[in-house]
Amino acid sequence: MPVRASTAIACANIAFIKYWGNRDESLRLPASGSISMNLAGLQTQTRVAFDESLHGDLLSINGQPVRGADLQRVSSILDEVRRMAGGVHYARVESQNNFPAGVGIASSAAAFAALALASSNAAGLALSEAQLSRLARRGSGSACRSIPGGFVEWRAGTGDEDSFGVSIAPPDHWALTDCILLISSAPKTTSSTEGHRLAATSPLQTSRLADAPRRLEICRSAILQRDFEALAEIVELDSNWMHAVMMTSRPPLFYWQEATLTAMREVSAARKAGLPVCYTVDAGPNIHVLCERSREDQVLALLAKLPSIQEVRLAHVGGPARTTDL
Ligand code: DP6
């Protein structure tokens, strides 16, 4: 067949317990497990077409041709798919995001989850959820959590075979909202990939990793019991600890801006005053403010008072990666 194509959609996710640091960089085997919630509506749609007339892989993102390191990263996933399928054709990859990339809202997670699903389908492979998650992980660690739906745990595993995302609760288990505050849409100066490399240079990373099983357990049971207070405390601790590692690595990484810290303080103060709300921040200045859906109006009223916020986007709990092929 001259052209074999498939299209897939995957959503971004926000980590409650973060992935920061690899024990095997090339396979993206994490130094500890992590837990996230898929973000409905913040999504990447990717079409992959293996085409015998091509002389190399082609990539476009939002209609713009992409070359260099980003194309190589996509080609390495396609190489893996070609290896599994025993095929040799190059592919045309067309990807569209409906949210800004490279600013700490896990665009690579949505992108590599959609790529794993579309490329394996187009190659005629019928991969299991675990196999898809492992494939997505090799492109971007957090992408393995955007393959299953709802609330997802990525178990660190012992190797490539058992390091993948598993749904711990479906999207309708708990009506949570992530209010994403865009403080800056400028691309971050240090990528997550580079940040993972620096994590081990922080004197705080050893204690962070040693405590990870405890935080994962508290987070997992807070989700299963829909216990917002327990979730809030562990989510903020985990985010702060990761940023403490970032700030104490060599060289240090500072992702927060003034408005990030102001928002963190206001959210914590509101919780002390009785509003069930908490924050978490990824590798960028933007802040994710979590609440139960029933509290959205109260939380939006709080956020409306904050300075230097360009935009607030709401995301509810998202489903698994899916194809749009008929
Ligand atoms: C802070 O998955 O983006 O968002 O594997 O290099 O693509 P790469 O890293 P990435 O790292 C995510 C870092 C984080 C925390 C998280 O999502 O768990």
Write the pLDDT tens digit of every residue in 256-309. 999 999 999 999 999 999 999 999 999 999 999 999 999 999 999 999 999 889
* 186 torsion bin: left (phi>0), alpha (psi -120 to 50), beta (else): beta
Pocket test for ligand 1, best of 144, 282, 286 (most atoms within 8 A of CB): 282
Q: What pLDDT does residue 88 have?
A: 74
CATH of domain 3-173: 3.30.230.10
CA-closest residue to ligand 1 atom 7: 140
Residues 6+ apart with CB under 8 A from 132: 113, 116, 117, 120, 147, 321
Which atom of ligand 1 is found nearest the CA of 242?
1
Which atom of ligand 1 is found nearest the CA of 104?
4
| CA pair distance 139, 77, nearest whole angstrom | 6
Which atom of ligand 1 is found nearest the CA of 13?
17
Q: What pLDDT does residue 1 have?
A: 63
pLDDT in tens, 121-143: 999 999 999 999 999 999 999 99
* Cα 105 to ligand 1 centroid, rounded to whole Å: 9
CA-closest residue to ligand 1 atom 14: 282
| CA pair distance 282, 37, nearest whole angstrom | 13
| CA pair distance 115, 99, nearest whole angstrom | 17
Architecture of domain 176-316 in this structure:
2-Layer Sandwich (3.30)
Pocket test for ligand 1, best of 26, 35, 192 (most atoms within 8 A of CB): 192
- Please list the ranges in the chain whose pLDDT falls under 50: none
Q: Which residues line ligand 1 (CB under 6 A)?
A: 15, 18-20, 28, 34, 106, 108, 140-142, 192-193, 196, 282-283
For the chain, what are the domain ranges? 3-173, 176-316
Parallel/antiparallel/unpaired status of strands 90-97 and 58-61: parallel
Q: What pLDDT does residue 104 have?
A: 53
Residues 6+ apart with CB under 8 A from 83: none
* Cα 141 to ligand 1 centroid, rounded to whole Å: 6
Per the prediction, the chain carries an average pLDDT of: 95
Which atom of ligand 1 is found nearest the CA of 28?
5
Q: What pLDDT does residue 185 have?
A: 78
Structure tokens at 187: 């691309």
* Cα 21 to ligand 1 centroid, rounded to whole Å: 9
